[in-house]
Chain A
Amino acid sequence: MRETPSQTAGPYLHIGMTDAAGPALIGSRMRRDGARGEAVTLVGRVIDGDGAPVTDALIELWQPDAEGRFPPGSDPSLSNLGRAACDDEGCYMFETVRPGAVPGAGAPHGAMMIYARGMNRALHLRCYFEGDPANAGDPLLRAAGARARTLIARRDGAVWRLDIRLQGANETAFLDV
């Protein structure tokens, strides 16, 4: 039987997917004291086809730990899954670590999904890190060609930044997952 069809998470997704109504099961602070690897603050802004910030989106980040591992058996001081709601300027932020390479899965990256009003299906993308020598051989980045840069976070002072453009010039290269 075919998959259940998708519907938008709507404008009030915070009720069910954040800690709006109780303790958070999945939060934006993924890294705890003692987490192994390079600490990363990942930020970005979500922008619509008019260049306006998307203030009601929610982003999920799913990534391996600094040694490329997933639970069970991964770093207990890291939550591999994070969620961040965009603020009134369309900005998100995750406190995490730089993901390690997963054997057979290309250059180190995290998987991201965006949920929002006006998205009938959540959008998939990936977050790679600028300057990683493995990026050159990554199958997805190679297939993306010039669009690859929309999936690569860049250092911006003390943080890493990956802006997400839903539509138009420099539109993010979303994935057909």
Chain B
Amino acid sequence: MTLLRPRAPGWHPPALAPDYRSTRLRAPTAPPLTLPSAGVELTGPVFGHGDLGPLDGDLHLNFAQQGESALGPRIRVHGKVVDEDDRPVTGALIEVWQANAGGRYRHMKDGYLAPLDPNFGGCGRVLTDAEGRYAFRTIQPGPYPWPNGGNDWRPAHIHLSLFGRAFAQRLVTQLYFEGDPFIPHCPILCAIPRPEARDRLTARLDLDATEPMDTVAWRFDIVLRGVAQTPFETQPEGQ
């Protein structure tokens, strides 16, 4: 008996994607082991609002000096987190991190020419509500060049990390913005073989949800792997 929804082959990007140079020495070559039907991967951590600070979901302000705000187009990213069986995932921890509006990360190892914004840290975290919904405020990140053997530029993107109910549902991915001309040129995004799968990582402009004269909304729904809720069910007596 397995409690995890099997993964469709060719849906996720393969470990080895030669056009994304860093995969060449980091992709395992041996076939992975099949997970037994029960394991600690079927349980997972539980997070609560006590784990979060009041400004954790507001990247405009969570690194800014008093009375100041991050530079860049003001956006709000929102959506719903469900599992593959369309059940809302409540209390899911979503961690986000990104470059600033000029495409520069607040990271020791990022040496890009674009300056840091003294009022932008570039990270945040939120929990999904009782319907699986989430939202955070940030600025639209800029594209930036990266060393991949040629003239490579990342499309504007936001990194997301999600904890669902089970460790086996862990998802780390990136959100891109509808209409970004760098999208078809990105070897990281294009490592995903199917166009309909790549499209799932594109946030849509959501004019109806914008705050007029304030903040543009982008919609990004997320689906976590389907998993049964009671991983260590004991066998009924007599079986």
Q: Is B214 an interface residue (CB 8 A)?
A: no
The contact of A15 among B14, B24, B106, B224, by CB within 8 Å, is: B106
What distance in Å separates the Cβ of B204 from its nearest Cβ neighbour in chain A?
14
CB pair B105–A12 under 8 Å, yes or no, is: yes
CB pair B234–A7 under 8 Å, yes or no, is: no
CB pair B223–A2 under 8 Å, yes or no, is: yes
CB pair B7–A48 under 8 Å, yes or no, is: no
What distance in Å separates the Cβ of A99 from its nearest Cβ neighbour in chain B?
8
A:137-177 near B, CB below 8 Å: 139-140, 143-144, 147, 166-168, 171-177
CB pair B189–A120 under 8 Å, yes or no, is: no
CB pair B33–A167 under 8 Å, yes or no, is: no
User: A72 with B46: in contact, given A2-B8, A111-B40 (CB under 8 Å)?
Assistant: yes
Residues of B close to A3: CB separation below 8 A: 5, 7, 11-12, 84, 171, 223-226
Number of A-B contacts (CB under 8 A): 236
Residues of A close to B205: CB separation below 8 A: none
Max chain A C-beta neighbours (<10 A), residue from B46, B53, B97, B109: B97
User: A50 with B125: in contact, given A4-B173, A8-B188 (CB under 8 Å)?
Assistant: no
Q: Is B78 an interface residue (CB 8 A)?
A: no
CB pair A13–B97 under 8 Å, yes or no, is: yes
A71 vs B30: C-alpha distance in the bound complex, in angstroms?
Answer: 34
Interface size class of B (residues with CB under 8 A): 35 or more
Q: Is A81 an interface residue (CB 8 A)?
A: yes
B:46-64 near A, CB below 8 Å: 46-47, 51, 53, 62-63
Q: Is B35 an interface residue (CB 8 A)?
A: yes
A5 vs B11: C-alpha distance in the bound complex, in angstroms?
Answer: 7
Interface string of A4-19 (1 = CB under 8 A from B): 1111111111111100
CB pair B23–A118 under 8 Å, yes or no, is: yes
Q: Is B22 an interface residue (CB 8 A)?
A: yes
Interface size class of A (residues with CB under 8 A): 35 or more
Q: Is A119 an interface residue (CB 8 A)?
A: yes
CB pair A1–B84 under 8 Å, yes or no, is: yes
A5-B12, A20-B107 given; name 13 further pairs at CB < 8 Å: A3-B171, A7-B189, A9-B159, A9-B172, A16-B123, A22-B121, A62-B43, A62-B44, A70-B43, A115-B172, A118-B23, A140-B35, A177-B168
Interface residues, chain B, with chain A CB atoms under 8 Å away: 4-5, 7-8, 11-15, 17, 20-30, 32-36, 38-41, 43-47, 51, 53, 62-63, 82, 84, 86, 93, 95-97, 105-107, 109-110, 121-123, 125, 159, 161, 167-168, 170-174, 188-189, 191-192, 197-198, 200-201, 222-226, 232, 234
Can you give 12 contacting A-B residue pairs, CB < 8 Å?
A3-B224, A7-B13, A12-B107, A22-B123, A109-B40, A115-B172, A120-B15, A144-B33, A166-B25, A174-B33, A176-B32, A176-B34
Interface residues, chain A, with chain B CB atoms under 8 Å away: 1-17, 20-23, 25, 48-50, 52, 54, 56, 60, 62-64, 70-72, 80-81, 99, 102-106, 109-111, 113, 115-124, 126, 139-140, 143-144, 147, 166-168, 171-177
